[in-house]
Structure 1
Amino acid sequence: MVVLNSILFICFFLLQYSTAVDKITATKFLTDPDTIISSNGAFNLGFFQPPNTTNRYVGIWYSRLHIKNVVWVANRNNPLNDSSGGSIRISEDGNLRILNARNRTLWSSNVSVSHQFYGNSEAQLLDSGNLVLMGPKGMILWQSFKHPTDTALPNMKLTVTRNSDIRMMLQAWNGPSDPSYGKFSVGIDSFAFPQLVIFNGDKPYWRSGPWNGQIFNGIQNNGSDNFNDAGFILENDRQGTISLTYSYANESLLSNYGLSYTGILTQRWWDDSKKEWRVAWKAPNTQCDIYGKCGAFGSCNKLNSPICSCLKGFKPKNKLEWSKGNWRNGCIRKMPLQCNSEGGKEDEFVRLVAIKVPDNADWLIGLDEDECRNQCLRNCTCAAYVFESGAGCMSWNRDLVDTEEMPEGGMDLYIRLAHSELGHDSEKTAVIAATGSIGAATIVTLVFILWRWHALKKQGKKLQYRKPESDIFGVDENHAQLEEVPLFEFKKVVTATNNFQETNKLGQGGFGPVYRGKLEDGQEIAVKRLLRSSGQGDKEFMNEVAVISKLQHRNLVRLLGCSVEGEEKMLIYEYLPNKSLDTLLFDPTKHELLPWVKRYNIIHGISRGLLYLHRDSRLKIIHRDLKASNILLDENLNPKISDFGMARIFGEKQDQDDTRRVVGTYGYMSPEYAMGGRFSEKSDVFSYGVLLLEILSGKRNSLFWYEEKSLSLLGYAYKLWKENNVVSFIDPAIAETCFLGEIQKCVWVGLLCVQEFAEDRPDIAIVISMLHSEIADLPCPKQPGFTHSQKSKDLASSSKQSDQTLSANNVSITVLSAR
């Protein structure tokens, strides 16, 4: 019996150890030379000793390689002097610490841990190589990916925050056997055009060139693999935070980016057949990669000899030094610029192709290519400009430094020169261009006449494009092309809805009633019928057809077609059996049909649909009327955004717009839109935040009134969040099924979305990252917009007016006039 008990005890111990082989807990710590291993066996965490030293460090390395390639070091500036007594453990305050034999702390995760996590936190080595410190329910308190050393692993983010000390960078070792901070570092700079920069101390040593929306402008493949196949994703929230992530295309291969102590940034992958690291790309790789190699207004070309030359219109500043190969003094202009001086001819631009553009560009917002050129021409200090569809308008009001001619890729750089530097070529070009323009205009006119004649012949057979007012679309008329959509015969729609029988009526919106119907082939449809008394008309009808016909996403309602006959205008949509979100969410007899798991799915589905509208579709759409009644639910309660009658199409580089015609719904409109008519992605994000808080609380914002301080739903949520009492905010119907960590995260994100000022709100891509816990450290939300309830103010003035306010809160506003 004793033997049997001993065997059972040993088996139990081994089982416990095997299930926690990748973790350090309050009761299971790590001593030198023991290690833990990630669950997939890819990474080890433990003590190691670099060559030619007796110092010992705690680090992470690849476990399957015959060489110990360390990718992260904890105590890099404070090593253990020998191998006796070192340990890694969870301290009493919940932090992860490295202790020496005398129990002196050499390193700590050093995070402020809530008292409720004392003794409840644990550290885990993930399969990605990320060491995370977690509280209850998996809440991440700290992670090594947020504190990199000299190596970036796949899916690690390098982040920089403007106007703060927060800058995630790779910091090279000080030497081959010394992991302490070296002089070289690499990260993203905080200029308007993000780029990777290697710094030697505080001076640039190499830079990638700006991000053009897909790749870094100045990077070329110089190894066995293509650098850009590494799958870079750059996120810029336009509020001062920029992050860069890469994921290697072949996930089965080990790969990373490392910065050596000599300042070389290398992308490499492990060749298992040869048992060695292979270099896919590195920088700097040539003399032209060294920052400012040819000085101001100089250009470097690695294929030339010598590699440096002056840009067109410039000459060496010091001819003697230049002839000796010392190019640091750079170049100066041959002829001064005229800058619109009287009697002189206007300056011109010369185009240089395939250029790694100079450093220190200024960003000019919202300009097209012609405006970009003219803006530079009007500014006497502007020396050059670039216009790239993915990057926008860049200009340089200072010396052009670190310019390189590239064999391929790059951007077109337009250098400003005096008119005399270009001879008469520009005048000849102008004559040719004018002649070509006249011919082109004639052809366009003829094509338009033929098109219009053909359209008139087909009138009545198809719904044709009719030139919309610019107020509908928010873009140039020439870009607003309405595609043809399937046209349903009016009599078939009448038959499908049983002559719009009242029993088939699904609901009523600002557009008009919506009816359920069934076509001859058995397909169920939802028919949205425009009422002439609705306050909405041809504009909204044409706008919705124009917008929704171009969109296709699983979280957007699908338009099947439309019907136009006389004064009748109808939109035919797919039928969704669970109607709109508000019919379940705000009904005390039905809200239990939405348990937490369903609400959580609805939250994510709405965010994905909004991301598609703002970023991923062919058009950039601002919805302007996002609310619970415009979220439809299919048979599985999956959400679909509907009602695009108020939507606006933005230009590719457009960030915001103004309107005198404010549309939307009380309780969902952002402050800047409701009060000033300014709308953007961030006004949709505000509506999304209101909707998120409504889903969590089960309460309608427009009807909510917290009597203690006349708070709106937003103000009430903010009050409870500051009191660390979000549990009191959630709908009792989901109290038993929800996960507190997810609820807290959603309330937090919702409050960030409804902050009063648009620039404080995250964009929807950042919101999704927050909800997925890809961003662990969320900023503290500021004061929400519309903190106090409009209802309470109306009640204070008159009960009769209150009734009017309550009814108005459920309908769309078509016009707001200031008084």
Structure 2
Amino acid sequence: MQALRNLFVCFLLFSFLRISTTSTLDTITPSRYIRDGETLVSAGGSFELGFFSPGASEGRYLGIWYTFDTKAVVWVANRETPLGDSSGVLKVTEQGVLVLLNTSNRIVWSSNSSTTAGNPVSQLLDSGNLVVKDGNETNPDKFLWQSFDYPCDTFLPEMKLGWDSSTGLDRYVSSWRSTEDPAPGEFSLRMDRRGFPQFDTMKGAKIMATAGSWNGIYFTAYPYPPQTRENQILGYKFVLDKDEIYYEYRLLNRSMFSRYVLNPSGTAQRFTWVHQTHSWELSSTLQADQCQNYALCGAYTSCNMNVSPSCACLKGFVPKSPKDWNSGYWSGGCVRKIPLACSYGDDFLKYTGVKLPDTSSSWFDKSMSLKECKGLCLKNCSCTAYANLDIREGGTGCLLWFGNLTDIRQFNPGGGQDLYVRMAASELDGIEKKSKFNREKLLGILISSAVFLVGTLITGLILYIYGRRNSEIKESEA
């Protein structure tokens, strides 16, 4: 009997040890670390942290991926310093610093926390954010370090992209070098703080495409109606104050998963997980057509994918090099037919439904009215255009441009916003007269067509009546 009791106790103890060693953890402490082959799983079960080798690569990396798709890696710690074998260990020190150690117990990668904690822990949150914090601290502003501050090629919900002015931290996305090498590639998606901030896709130091500036609802390069599927899935936030300039998005439905990825070719794409097919669906591509190539048409032009050729000079402008322009080389742009007269005699021509020009040479004011904005632009000889900073509630704020206007795009009716381009008064008179002539010409054509149609109908009716009357006369005579 005693033997059976002992056997039962041993069985319970074995079961307890087995459960405790195989149960998932989302936290490590100075006394509890993970080795290659072990993982952390976030409390909600969405994300997993561990060691992996991308593709055919033999290097070992510490990364974070979705639990339901281990190939969808969203963050890598040692991007440029892969481990040569499977002996990696991830620890958090007593000072609150994450360290990745190799087989020689040397530090391959570490977090750069400058503050310490009395009870440091590192936890994988269900947002995909790996954090170092003091004990049970939940306030993100008090975290010692977080992976969301150091994105790789993936922009996740609740992650900030932009600048922290108080610390100088620049949060930006950078592509992998290749599908098997997570080292930073040549492409990046980052905030341009010159003038009014905008998001640029860069190849090295060269701008390849720009999402444009934020107008209170969307980035001007990607307008969408208020009631779209995009708005029903995602919520957007843009913050611009003395401490921070950043953009983030959130999932309105917590059961969904969505991510932006900047691939090794420099294309930014948004994917949404489809539970029914167990696969990622491509929801949008930031560089979807030719007009999204930065400054494709040069200065003082607009790009329109619905016409051919796509590039056209703004009204009152002509190609700088007609020969290049006619041969399809548009980057030289256009120049004014009539020079500006500075503040004397200048006015503005309104364009509707456009992507606003590159804002790197702009100035803005959040409280100024559109009328005040126009007056301020007229007083400055270098000011070439103005627009509302925010298009919500009828429009507020002022955005002024100085110098050349580049990267304007014409959208279909209902898309884009209004832009007011400075013109010489005499040029405006000519444009208005031409527009009036065209309207009168069109009206004349419509009137002539209507008269011709009515005349044709009347003539046909007369002939019909005359023919029928003759038939009736012939029938009566018979």
Q: Same fold (TM over 0.5)?
A: yes
The runs of 5 or more residues in structure 1 that have no matched partner are 430-819
Q: Structure 2 matches for 1:114-153, cutoff 5 A?
A: 114=116, 117=118, 120-138=119-137, 140-153=143-156
- Give the C-alpha shift of residue 366 in structure 1: 3.7
Structure having the larger proportion of residues in helix: 1
Higher relative contact order by CA 8 Å / sep ≥ 6: 1 or 2? 2
The 5 A counterparts of 1:156-167 are 156-162=159-165, 165-167=168-170
Question: Which piece of structure 1 moves more, 121-130 or 1-10?
Answer: 1-10
The secondary structure found in structure 2 opposite 1:299 is strand
CA RMSD of aligned residues (A): 2.5
| 2-structure distance, mates of 1:39, 1:193 | 40
Counterpart CA distance in 2 for 1:366 and 1:178 is 47
> Structure 2 vs 1, CA of residues 322 and 382 (structure 1 numbering), >3 Å: closer, same or farther?
same
Correspondence for 2:318 = 315
Give the secondary structure class of the aligned counterpart of 1:247. Answer: strand
Verify the 8 A CA contact 2:94 2:120 in the aligned structure 1: no
Q: Secondary structure of the equivalent of 2:212?
A: coil
Write out aligned runs for 1:114-263 (5 A): 114=116, 117=118, 120-138=119-137, 140-162=143-165, 165-191=168-194, 193-220=196-223, 226-229=229-232, 230-236=234-240, 238-263=241-266
The count of aligned residue pairs is 417
Q: Offset at 1:60?
A: 0.6
Q: Per-residue deviation at 1:240?
A: 4.6
Q: Does 1:395 align with 2:394?
A: no
Equivalent pair of 2:224/2:415 in contact (CA under 8 Å)? no
SS at match of 1:420: helix
Maintained 8 Å contact 2:366/2:389: no
Give the direction of change, closer, same or farther, for the CA distance of 1:320–1:192 in structure 2 (3 Å limit): closer
1:272-671 map, 5 Å? 272-340=275-343, 346-360=345-359, 361-364=362-365, 366-390=367-391, 392-407=397-412, 408-423=414-429
Letter in 2 for 1:352: Y
Report the counterpart of residue 98 of structure 1 in structure 2. 100
**Offset of 1:389 from its aligned partner?**
4.5
Amino acid at match of 1:380: C
Aligned counterparts of 1:57 and 1:136: Cα–Cα separation in 2: 27
Gaps of 5+ in 2: 436-478
Over the matched positions of the two proteins, sequence identity in percent amounts to: 38
Pairing partner for 2:269 from 253, 266, 271: 266
Aligned partner of 1:88 in structure 2 is 90
- Structure 2 SS opposite 1:370: helix
Shift of 1:179: 0.3
Q: 1:235 to 1:388 in 2, by over 3 A?
A: closer
Aligned partners of 1:18, 1:80: CA distance in 2, in Å?
A: 25
Using the TM superposition, give the Cα deviation of residue 98 of structure 1 relative to its aligned residue in structure 2, in angstroms.
1.0
Equivalent AA in structure 1 for residue 373 of structure 2: C
Q: Which amino acid aligns with 2:261?
A: G
Matched letter for residue 217 of structure 1: T
Residue 279 and residue 256 in structure 1: after superposition, are their counterparts in 2 closer, same or farther (change >3 A)? Answer: same
Shift of 1:27: 2.4
Tell me how far 1:112 sits from its aligned partner: 2.6
Q: Which amino acid aligns with 1:45?
A: L
1:666-718: per-residue Cα shift (whole Å, max 9, x none)? xxxxxxxxxxxxxxxxxxxxxxxxxxxxxxxxxxxxxxxxxxxxxxxxxxxxx
Q: Which residue is equivalent to 2:48?
A: 44
Quick one: distance in 2 between partners of 1:93 and 1:161?
24
Distance in 1 (CA, whole Å) between partners of 2:367 and 2:342 is: 24
Distance 1:155 1:364 in 2: 28
Q: Which of 33, 39, 43 does residue 37 from structure 2 map onto?
A: 33
Name the structure 1 match of 2:61: 57
Output one character per residue of 1:63-100: Cα deviation in whole Å (capped at 9) or x when no partner.
113x52101111111111222x1111223433211111
Q: Is the 8 A contact 2:96 2:144 kept in 1?
A: no
TM-score (norm 2): 0.81
Is the contact between residue 41 and residue 64 of structure 1 (CA under 8 Å) also seen in structure 2?
no
Structure 2 residue identity aligned to 1:382: C
- Counterparts of 1:46 and 1:296, CA distance in 2: 49
Counterparts of 1:10 and 1:135, CA distance in 2: 34
Provide the rounded CA distance (Å) in 2 between the counterparts of 1:405 and 1:328: 17
Change (3 A) 1:45 1:93: same
CA distance in 2, matches of 1:378, 1:313: 21
| Residue 182 of structure 1: how far off its partner (Å) | 0.9
Distance in 2, matches of 1:365 and 1:110, equals 36
8 Å CA contact 1:215–1:228 kept in 2: the answer is no
For residues 271 and 137 of structure 1, do their structure 2 counterparts lie closer, same or farther at Cα, with a shift above 3 Å needed? closer
Q: Name the residue aligned to 1:107.
A: 109
Aligned-partner Cα distance in 2 for 1:374–1:317:
30
Q: In 2, distance between residues paired with 1:197 and 1:156?
A: 17
Q: CA deviation at 1:227?
A: 4.1
Given that 2:357 and 2:405 are in contact with CA atoms closer than 8 Å, whether structure 1 keeps it comes out as yes
Q: Distance in 2 between matches of 1:214 and 1:45?
A: 35
Give me the whole-angstrom Cα distance separating, in 1, the residues matched to 2:318 and 2:434.
Answer: 26
Deviates more, 1:28-37 or 1:184-193: 184-193
The amino acid across from 1:90 in the alignment is V
Q: CA deviation at 1:365?
A: 5.4
Q: 2: distance between equivalents of 1:100 and 1:234?
A: 41
CA contact (8 A) 1:226 1:280 kept: no
Give the C-alpha shift of residue 301 in structure 1. Answer: 0.7
Please give the secondary structure, in 2, of the residue aligned with 1:137. coil
Shift of residue 214, structure 1, vs aligned partner: 2.1
For residues 740-751 of structure 1, the aligned pairs below 5 Å read none
> Structure 2 vs 1, CA of residues 96 and 365 (structure 1 numbering), >3 Å: closer, same or farther?
closer
Shift of the 136–249 alpha-carbon distance from structure 1 to 2, 3 Å rule, reads: closer
Q: How much does 1:26 deviate?
A: 2.1
SS in 1 for 2:270: strand
Alpha-carbon distance, 1:43 to partner: 1.2
SS of 1:326's equivalent in the other structure is coil
Counterpart amino acid of 1:40? Answer: G
Deviation of 1:271 after TM superposition, in Å, equals: 1.4
Q: 1:82 to 1:110 in 2, by over 3 A?
A: same
Distance 1:389 1:37, change over 3 A: closer
| Greater fraction strand | 2
Contact kept? 2:218, 2:224, Cα under 8 Å: no
- Compare 299-308 and 158-167 and name the one that shifted more: 158-167
Q: What amino acid is aligned across from residue 107 of structure 2 in structure 1?
A: T
Q: Secondary structure at the match of 2:341?
A: coil
- Deviations along 1:324-361, one digit per CA (max 9) or x if unpaired, are 211111111111112245xxxx1221111011011122
Report the Cα distance in structure 2 between the residues aligned to 1:297 and 1:424, rounded to whole angstroms.
Answer: 18
